[in-house]
A and B are shown apart, each in its own frame.
Chain A
């Protein structure tokens, strides 16, 4: 659906993007994650045709943006970090303007009504945008991006400045939109990516340092697999048993308890699944195993590990 290949953008002596490549398939929600100044907005501005790259290509549905800019722009709906709203217009006037601007061929009234229904902006249609709350402005911005039913939606920091209720509503809206559109959203809020995205592309200092499904990112970073197991029995002996299992590279007691069971963190060697061996070892020693689940790194841990955050940037 959209393929970004080897994008390079240099501002003077600052390299904003140094050859990033990623793609997003149909109906996928991809999160561009990275600290402030990582190059997320620059990437989005290039994808939408607002900026041009120094080299590299952006192909949307088989159309390359430098060859067919107008065609590509009809396929993309874009909500920049600050919604591009004319505050002297009412919401209805704004939507009519965007409809004409995008040369939309869908029937005007039903199409705009459907968008108002999806974004819940019906009740503010005749209000001046200048008088709307930030949450409603964001919704109107999203509504504008939906005009023309573009295949790809790009949202730059869509929840910045919203209150918690508005954030939850906006995320729910993006998830709903992801059923019919390919969505690329940028954020530096880790929980947002976890809550909304199918896939994460982590950018740092203009480079992609991870491109994985949301659930797999921590596994990718921490190649050794980790499990959390609840085992009854004397901790010292249980630990010795666990550490003696072939393929287990480490075992620790976390200090947490569940009734008379202690919680152990078991790490396996790369590519080894030791769950059956752990079960068998515990059973042979009559240590009841009452629970076991994968225990990846949290996204925060992944992010810090990958971007080296905390170090001087």
Chain B
């Protein structure tokens, strides 16, 4: 398992993928931070992270689009699948590699908060809550990206598919804020990735939301494993 994990991390930085992802992540987060905090003159980072969540729609597919699609196109998945490594470990390795790069970049982007601590008194609990919430959302989005990547051998199709699904999921969440019908509003908010993030912006660790994000992530990782198992039996 560690062999595939290490290979994935190395590949991120032997190809442009890692650099492009890191550059776009830091540039977009820097822009959003200056807009929502520095320009607005506030130490409240909740708006910044809410906006950053929408940037994930483009950022996460950059990370996941190659994962399985490229292996399939190049025929290297035959090496992986005929090696003594289970499909579960294969999927887990790829997932953890994507999450590692994402988390590392997210931590680096937190350096933007230094001016807030120098010139103000930001709420550390809120910042930590948002960082945890954003990481949990990223686990969902990465799992979805990996699942879509496992369905095709064209990485651009994988990227577009993932963007479509992530945009739809966030749009459904936004819909909850406009719908007034009680039951539908409750259901939409319950399944909404967007709405569930709000508790983290208060600096609270919402166990139910964390379980929800991890469950969604687990479901899509499970589906990715099933895609490979089904292909063996196809």
Contact = CB atoms under 8 A, between A and B. Distances in A.
A84 B75 CA distance: 5
Interface residues of A, number: 30
B14 interface: yes
Nearest to B81: A50
A151 B6 CA distance: 28
Nearest to B3: A100
A11 B234 CA distance: 7
Contacts, number: 64
B78 A78 contact: yes
Contacts of B74: 84-87
Interface stretch (A69-77, A202-210, A239-247, A288-296): A69-77
Contacts of B3: 97, 100-101
B80 A101 contact: yes
B75 A102 contact: no
Nearest to A148: B84
Interface in B78-134: 78-86
A98 B79 contact: yes
B79 to A, nearest CB: 4
Interface in A88-117: 88-89, 93, 97-98, 100-103
B94 to A, nearest CB: 13
Interface string A177-188: 000000000000
A73 B86 contact: no
A228 to B, nearest CB: 46
B4 interface: yes
A97 B82 CA distance: 14
A86 B66 CA distance: 13
Given A51-B232, A97-B3, A88 B83 contact: no
Contacts of B11: 86, 88
Contacts of A87: 74
Interface string B210-234: 0000000000000000000000111
Given A80-B78, A82-B75, A84-B78, A101 B232 contact: no
Q: Which 9 A-B pairs have the closest CB atoms?
A: A100-B3, A84-B79, A70-B84, A73-B84, A82-B75, A101-B3, A48-B82, A84-B76, A52-B232
Given A49-B82, A52-B233, A97-B3, 6 more contacts: A50-B78, A50-B232, A74-B84, A78-B78, A84-B77, A100-B2
